[in-house]
Amino acid sequence: MSAAILAELETYRATARSWLAAHAGAYGAAARTGLNEAQDLELGRRWMALKHDHGYSGISWPRDMGGSGLSPLHQAIFAQEELPFDFPIDYFTISLGQPAPIMMHYAPEVARRRFVKPALRGEQIWCQLFSEPGAGSDLAGLRTRATRDGDDWIIDGQKLWTSWAQYSDYAVLVARHDPSLPKHKGLTFFWLDMRTPGVTVRPIQLADGSRHVNEVFLDQVRIPDTQRLGQIGDGFAVAMHTLIIERYAAGADETGYGPGLGLLLHLARSARLGPGAALDDGRVRSAVAEAYRLQQALATARSKAFLEVANQREPGSEGAIHKLVSVRARQRMSELAVDLMGPGAPHRRDARAKHDWVASWLSAPTGRIAGGTDEILLNTIAEKVLGLPQDHRPDKGIPFSEIPSRG
């Protein structure tokens, strides 16, 4: 890569950083303290609009779609710089991460024009109706039915773990149009308005007390065939496409979206264990050393993937490794931190995982499951990188309706 491109990226980084720092007071961690979720979401919408006004929302998206037409590297740099300030962006991450790019890719021109820009500005939020009670890691085992009725489809079923559905205006959806086909082949992809009659959203409280995921019931929901994305039967391919879109390059965080090593060092210095500081204890030092070596390696691997992309090469399996290693490490670090804080470790309900060890520890299990479980990631590495055989899959190639227990 030419030094000129690298220099340009670093200039972009410096500009972005100072712009972010200038707005941290009004939109960042301090501004969010004490807000209820409705207020926080409103702050988030204003933040997204401000970002869009300044070309920082949809950085790598085409200009005629409301983006800034820059590279995925610019996007990754901005995401990296934005993360530490703790801006209220969670509500929009999935919306802009998967459904909006899919609309950009598969929707007809008129729908794209209508939907993409409001999503970029945080005026509208999209969710992703994928997982179901009986279909998580095995997404293609989903049972929500799409039945053709003239020019429409009737959708019936139940979705689960849908992030931010309670605030979503629109959704992308994958459903089964033909149970007589093998499970991957009988799926079709749609988009829909969440206000369509028959859509009911019910928040689910997670173990950490948060309520960002939902059950979504679809009861005789009628949507026109014009809201189909991709061909009939291409649903699984479209869904897989959404799951791999720039998830890694867009801003993976070595801490697994938990507190940084600096906070652990600070805690281990101030907590007393035995005659001195906890950080003087060999077992604590061992844990700190492990956290450091894992996080450093992930940061290096990400920089390398970044350079590879900048040099028009395909990065490898860094994304899967990053998620697997960073979240497991975060869980262990958080356990250690809570141990060091002792039984009086305060649990603040509005605390966020990036800054609070208890919050990080309580939500770490979700991190190891959502967006690809550890086990699925290990399978991905084993099969895609190392060429090991696929697991035994007795449901392969047979009609979905004949799979035992599905019937």
Partner 1 sequence: MSFLPTDEQIQIAEGAQRLLAQSYSGEALKALLETTGRYDSGYWRSCSEMGWTALAIPEAYGGLGLGLIEMAMVADASGRVACGAPFLITSYMASQALLLAGAEAVRSEQLPWLASGDKIGCIAFAEDANPIPPDPQVRCEGEAVYGCKRGVLGGVHADVAVVLASGARGPVLVLVDLSAGGVTRRIVNTFDNSLGVADLVFEGAQGRPLDAACANSVAWDVLDRAAVVVAAAQTGGAEVCTAMARDYATTRRAFGQPIGRFQAIKHKIAEMYVANEIAKANCLEAALRLDNRLPEFTALAAAARLSATQAYDFATREGVQVLGAIGATWESDMHLHMRRARSFASVLGSRFVWEDRLVGALETSS
Q: Which of 311, 347, 398, 402 binds partner 1 (CB under 8 A)?
A: 311
How far apart CA 403 and CA 357 sit, in angstroms, is 44
Q: How many residues does the chain have?
A: 407
Q: Which of 50, 111, 382, 403 binds partner 1 (CB under 8 A)?
A: 382
Token match 């090593």: residue? 261
Shortest separation between residue 285's beta carbon and partner 1, angstroms: 4
Residue 289 touches partner 1, criterion: CB under 8 A: yes
Residue 295, token pair as written in the block? 């996080």
Residue 211 touches partner 1, criterion: CB under 8 A: no
Stretch that binds partner 1, among 35-43, 110-118, 244-252, 296-304 (CB under 8 A): 296-304
How far apart CA 314 and CA 332 sit, in angstroms, is 32
Site mask for partner 1 (CB under 8 A), range 245-284, x = bound: ----------------xx--x-------------x--x--
How far apart CA 341 and CA 363 sit, in angstroms, is 18
Of 213 and 325, which has the nearer Cβ to partner 1?
325
Q: Total residues at the site for partner 1 (CB under 8 A)?
A: 42
Residue 349 touches partner 1, criterion: CB under 8 A: no
Shortest separation between residue 282's beta carbon and partner 1, angstroms: 7
Q: Which of 37, 42, 156, 308 binds partner 1 (CB under 8 A)?
A: 308
Of 193 and 375, which has the nearer Cβ to partner 1?
375
- Using the 8-state DSSP alphabet, how is residue 158 labeled? E
Of 324 and 359, which has the nearer Cβ to partner 1?
324
Q: What is the DSSP string of 63-88?
A: GGGTS----HHHHHHHHHHHGGGT-S
Stretch that binds partner 1, among 19-27, 46-54, 211-219, 386-394 (CB under 8 A): 386-394
Nearest to 61 by CA among 147, 21, 137, 120: 120
- 145-183 in b/e burial notation, b at 16+ Cβ within 10 A? bbeeeeeebbbbbbbbbbbbbbbbbbbbbbbbbbbebbb
Stretch that binds partner 1, among 88-96, 113-121, 292-300, 353-361 (CB under 8 A): 292-300
Q: Which of 292, 332, 335, 345 binds partner 1 (CB under 8 A)?
A: 292
Of 47 and 306, which has the nearer Cβ to partner 1?
306
How many helices and strands in the chain, by DSSP H and E?
13, 10
Shortest separation between residue 248's beta carbon and partner 1, angstroms: 14
Q: Which of 297, 351, 369, 403 binds partner 1 (CB under 8 A)?
A: 297
Shortest separation between residue 372's beta carbon and partner 1, angstroms: 13
How far apart CA 207 and CA 251 sit, in angstroms, is 26
Pairing of strands 170-176, 187-193: antiparallel
Residue 385 touches partner 1, criterion: CB under 8 A: yes
Pairing of strands 213-224, 152-163: antiparallel
Stretch that binds partner 1, among 133-141, 152-160, 223-231, 305-313 (CB under 8 A): 305-313
Distances (CA, A) of 402 to 140, 216, 263, 391: 14, 26, 53, 20
Q: Compute the C-alpha angle 36/354/15, nearest 5°.
A: 95
Q: Which of 63, 114, 202, 293 binds partner 1 (CB under 8 A)?
A: 293
Residue 389 touches partner 1, criterion: CB under 8 A: yes
Q: Which of 388, 396, 397, 398 binds partner 1 (CB under 8 A)?
A: 388
Residue 19 touches partner 1, criterion: CB under 8 A: no
Distances (CA, A) of 313 to 21, 305, 309: 33, 9, 5
Residue 378 touches partner 1, criterion: CB under 8 A: yes
Site residues (vs partner 1, CB under 8 A): 261-262, 265, 279, 282, 285-286, 288-290, 292-294, 296-298, 300-301, 303-304, 306-308, 311, 318, 321, 324-325, 375, 378-379, 381-383, 385-392
